[in-house]
Chains A and B, each alone.
Chain A
Amino acid sequence: MNNLEIVKAGLNKRYAKERRFKFYGIFSISLSMLFLFFLLFDIGAKSIPAFTQTYINLDIEFDKKLMKLQDQDSYSEETLFSASYSKLGRNALYKLFPEVTERKQKKALRQMLSSGARYDLRDAVLENNDYVGTTQNLWVLAGDDIDAFVKGLIDRNIPEADRRVKDYQVEWVDTLEAQNKIERRFNINFFTSGDSREPEQAGILGALKGSFYTMLVTLLLSFPIAVSAAIYLEEFAPKNNWWIDIIEININNLAAVPSIVFGILGLAVYINLFGVPRSAPLVGGLVLTLMTLPTIIISTRAALKSVPPSIREAALSIGASKMQVITHHVLPLAMPGILTGSIIGMAQALGETAPLLMIGMVAFVADIPQSILDPATVLPVQVFIWSDSPERGFIALTSAAIVTLLVFLFFMNLVAIVLRKKFETRW
């Protein structure tokens, strides 16, 4: 057998190996893409129920006695605000189902309505003062179990004992449905209210505003500091200087320090040493600033480096100082790259959770923050808080909050990509 024959004999085996290897590559890429689509699809599908909400149509009798109001013709805003609205909804339900008399069933009937329904009724009365003493046909927010049942999240075929909705409640819902008195509407509440313990009343506006303030602080601090630091290191720092090397190693290393360690720094230094208020967007922004600095510095340096020397030399040759060369020529030319890096850094900061847990942004905050000093939470932390809540409705809410967060991240990255594509110059 000569050499050629030996080679030919092994050839099929080697080609098979080649094909197999290629297949592995395609397989692993497909697997990863499949995982990504599964992840997005799973969360997207889980979020759908959160975007609608169940309302029940009731004839609400705004009885002065039930509202604990004195018999007058007109009332001041304040009296109306502090009046009692808790009995109005349940009374209307009792009237609709007069056959219900047993105590336990009455309680179940009451729970058909959300505990937040009274606030909606209050707001309705504050808007139309003349409702008092009349009977109005209104749509009232349903409780979370009924909501889940109407959405089909609770199966009516499983035995009653394993089900959160009792048989008589199912019957009531069917009766209401037959009369067209129950309906699902778009969940506007989700975008207009703060956090709540009740899933049907909880919204993400508080977290959105918290994220906005936190990002504002982060951007205002990290962008100027990072760009200045990058300019110094790239343009002014003496070469082959040991402590410049230390700074550089430092920055590269900080980019890889676990995020939770920054949270510890925030807790020990900002809160305990400097007394910055806990849970506030200010301290969150300060912590995230330190985290985003390395990202922005590294991309800014890359952008500065990509500006060709010919431009610097041209400016220098007509008498510009080094600082003028940088501020008048290099920086404007590098700006698209710097902005792209900054947006990517901000997107990272927007999705960051762990360090913010350390500085108390995980507290339950029902109020919507009005400034960078108010206690607040941010979107990813809101996701974490809700995912910890036992009520069924929170699964959908968590997924919906994630969808919102991902939409924001998607747009930020889109802007970064467009910036890069549009203004990128190849020298």
Chain B
Amino acid sequence: MSNLEILLILIIAAAIAYYATKRQAQSWQASRDKTKLDSLPNYYGYFGAICTLLPALIVLSFWSFIEGNIISALVVSKFERLSALNASDLSLVMNEIKIIVESGLSEKNSNDLFYEKAAVLIERYSLVSLFLKVASVFALSILGFMYAYLKITPRFKARKKVEKTAVYLLLLSALVAILTTAGIIFSVLFESIAFFSQISIFDFVFGTHWSPQIAIREGQVSSTGGFGAFPLFWGTILISIIAMIVAAPLGLISAIYLAEYAQPKIRNVVKPILEILAGVPTVVYGFFAALTVGPMVSGFGDRLNEFGMSFEIELFAGLVVSSESALAAGLVMGMMIMPFILSLSDDVINAVPDSLRDGSIAMGSTKSETVWKVVFPAALPGIVGGFLLAISRAIGETMIVLMAAGVAANLTANPLNSVTTVTTQIVVLLTGDQEFDSIKTLSAFALALGLFVTTLILNILALQIVRRYREQYE
């Protein structure tokens, strides 16, 4: 019996409980002495359903979460051959055993008798676990229903109880956000600590040599060479700078024009069109950057190179032009974050009170002078906040850089060269067929920790600035 089937049965049971308790309440209402109920009959029904469903559901989900790990632990403790293995080998062996269990024991698909034995044991334990699970869940559900049925009386405050439970459930949903953040922190923190116990933080942050693909065997650790992440940080910064050079003026000037000059008619057409840019999936930008903008940029670089050669301008002649370039990725990323800056700036500019504009116009200044000398300074904190959010988005962007910027870790300031970024390396390190606790995969978690912390600081700073700015004019 799968969890889904158990769930379905529980829901049916809850529906029955709902009707049974509701009928009970209605019968009181209809009885000869017209007993006055504390709540509407529906609420008695809800109370019955909650008592039937909720405890059973909690046990069911809890059991399902821990079941697998407990069974594995039990099996491992039974076989000396398994408990002697280290963690990564163990997980490989256990996976193999589980595949045998899934493919069915009747087929003799493994020549190792030991695997068969373990598989048989796992299947036996699973059966026991399933039986216990089903029994306890259904027993709880029946007990819950009996409790509810015996508990209700005409004076029973069913509505209060039901509503209180509902509020707790709502609170639980709100806590998912906290759980998510905690999950993120825990999932990157532990692996990062494991990584930094082998590679020092200093070497990681300031080392300039990044080549984790050279497999480092166990016991050969802490020859730091391969894990200097500085080129990645630099690549990320370089591409973000290019993106902001494109996006900041375009977004800001467009926003000012739309907010201050454009007629409402034009505004209502242009703004949604530009916001389409924000809705295009990043993988589409990546494809465009790699296939269209990339070749255009490298063609331009070649032209520049030839020009440098023929006129002996050293700066251009020595130019290295690669097909994957920071410039292509940065340009396209700039267009991607442009609408983001546009709509954030638009919001803050619109929030500047008209009295400021009117005052400036009354003094005889032109519209552009009003914009630059009055509106812009007043909106500056909000605009800066928007820029910070845009930078954080540029730093965390993955697909464009993955597809268009390349994977070679170059420490270069030449935007026509290929660079790599933190996000690209995370993908490259974690998508290969790697065992989970090799130092190579651990380094990806360290990078993710750096990424998370950086964007977290930027976001909190930006949100704080924007919020304070809003309060100023409210």
Q: Does A18 contact B (CB under 8 A)?
A: yes
CB-CB under 8 A from B178, the residues of chain A are 246-247, 250
Inter-chain contact A265/B282, CB cutoff 8 Å = no
Inter-chain contact B191/A28, CB cutoff 8 Å = no
Given contacts A265-B183, A387-B290, A406-B280, contact A228 B403 (CB under 8 A): no
Q: Does B423 contact A (CB under 8 A)?
A: yes
Inter-chain contact B288/A32, CB cutoff 8 Å = no
Give the contact stretch, choosing among B134-142, B224-232, B345-353, B445-453. B445-453
Choose among A46, A229, A405 the residue that contacts B177 (Cβ–Cβ < 8 A): A229
Inter-chain contact A357/B181, CB cutoff 8 Å = no
Inter-chain contact A323/B398, CB cutoff 8 Å = no
Inter-chain contact B460/A353, CB cutoff 8 Å = no
CB-CB under 8 A from B285, the residues of chain A are 39
Q: How far, in angstroms, from A229 to B175 measured CA to CA in the complex?
A: 8
Q: Which of B415-456 contact A (CB under 8 A)?
A: 423, 426-427, 430-431, 436, 444-445, 448, 451-452, 455-456
Inter-chain contact B257/A258, CB cutoff 8 Å = no
Given contacts A253-B460, A383-B283, contact A25 B257 (CB under 8 A): yes
Nearest opposing residue in chain A for B394, CB measure:
A258
Q: Which of A232-277 contact B (CB under 8 A)?
A: 232-233, 236-237, 246-247, 249-254, 256-262, 264-265, 267-269, 272, 274-275
Given contacts A17-B368, A22-B368, A384-B286, contact A258 B423 (CB under 8 A): yes
Q: Does A94 contact B (CB under 8 A)?
A: no
Choose among A22, A257, A353 the residue that contacts B261 (Cβ–Cβ < 8 A): A22
> Taking the nearest CB of chain A, how far is it from the CB of B430, in angstroms?
6
Inter-chain contact A232/B368, CB cutoff 8 Å = no
Q: How far, in angstroms, from A354 to B403 measured CA to CA in the complex?
A: 11
Q: How far, in angstroms, from A275 to B281 measured CA to CA in the complex?
A: 29
Nearest opposing residue in chain B for A405, CB measure:
B281
Given contacts A43-B288, A323-B166, contact A261 B68 (CB under 8 A): no
Inter-chain contact A42/B292, CB cutoff 8 Å = yes
Given contacts A32-B274, A387-B286, A395-B291, contact A261 B452 (CB under 8 A): yes
> Taking the nearest CB of chain A, how far is it from the CB of B462, in angstroms?
8
Inter-chain contact A228/B398, CB cutoff 8 Å = no
Given contacts A31-B250, A275-B68, contact A294 B431 (CB under 8 A): no
Q: How far, in angstroms, from A159 to B188 measured CA to CA in the complex?
A: 54
Inter-chain contact A35/B427, CB cutoff 8 Å = no
Choose among B176, B287, B402 the residue that contacts A402 (Cβ–Cβ < 8 A): B287
> Taking the nearest CB of chain A, how far is it from the CB of B392, in angstroms?
6
Nearest opposing residue in chain A for B272, CB measure:
A417
CB-CB under 8 A from B463, the residues of chain A are 249, 252-253
Q: Which of B384-429 contact A (CB under 8 A)?
A: 389, 392-393, 395-399, 402-403, 423, 426-427
Inter-chain contact B283/A380, CB cutoff 8 Å = yes
Q: How far, in angstroms, from A360 to B366 measured CA to CA in the complex?
A: 58
Inter-chain contact A405/B284, CB cutoff 8 Å = yes
Q: How far, in angstroms, from A347 to B444 measured CA to CA in the complex?
A: 29
Q: Does B197 contact A (CB under 8 A)?
A: no
Q: Does A29 contact B (CB under 8 A)?
A: yes
Q: Does B264 contact A (CB under 8 A)?
A: no
Q: Does B320 contact A (CB under 8 A)?
A: no
Q: Does A173 contact B (CB under 8 A)?
A: no
Q: Which of B290-320 contact A (CB under 8 A)?
A: 290-292
Given contacts A247-B178, A249-B460, A257-B184, contact A28 B253 (CB under 8 A): yes
Inter-chain contact B279/A409, CB cutoff 8 Å = yes
Q: Does B258 contact A (CB under 8 A)?
A: yes
Choose among A21, A36, A383 the residue that contacts B277 (Cβ–Cβ < 8 A): A36
Inter-chain contact B284/A402, CB cutoff 8 Å = yes
CB-CB under 8 A from A249, the residues of chain B are 460, 463
Choose among A14, A252, A405 the residue that contacts B369 (Cβ–Cβ < 8 A): A14
Given contacts A261-B452, A268-B191, A353-B281, contact A25 B398 (CB under 8 A): no
Given contacts A22-B261, A43-B287, contact A357 B273 (CB under 8 A): no
Inter-chain contact B445/A256, CB cutoff 8 Å = no
> Taking the nearest CB of chain B, how far is it from the CB of A88, in angstroms?
35
CB-CB under 8 A from A294, the residues of chain B are 177
Closest 7 CB pairs of A and B: A258-B396, A25-B257, A351-B281, A268-B187, A228-B173, A232-B170, A354-B398
17 new A-B contacts, CB < 8 A, other than A387-B291, A405-B281, are A18-B369, A22-B261, A26-B257, A32-B274, A36-B273, A39-B280, A42-B288, A226-B173, A228-B174, A232-B171, A260-B427, A269-B183, A269-B187, A347-B279, A358-B430, A383-B287, A402-B284
What are 9 of the A-B contact pairs (CB < 8 Å)? A15-B366, A17-B366, A246-B178, A258-B452, A261-B455, A264-B444, A265-B187, A323-B163, A406-B280
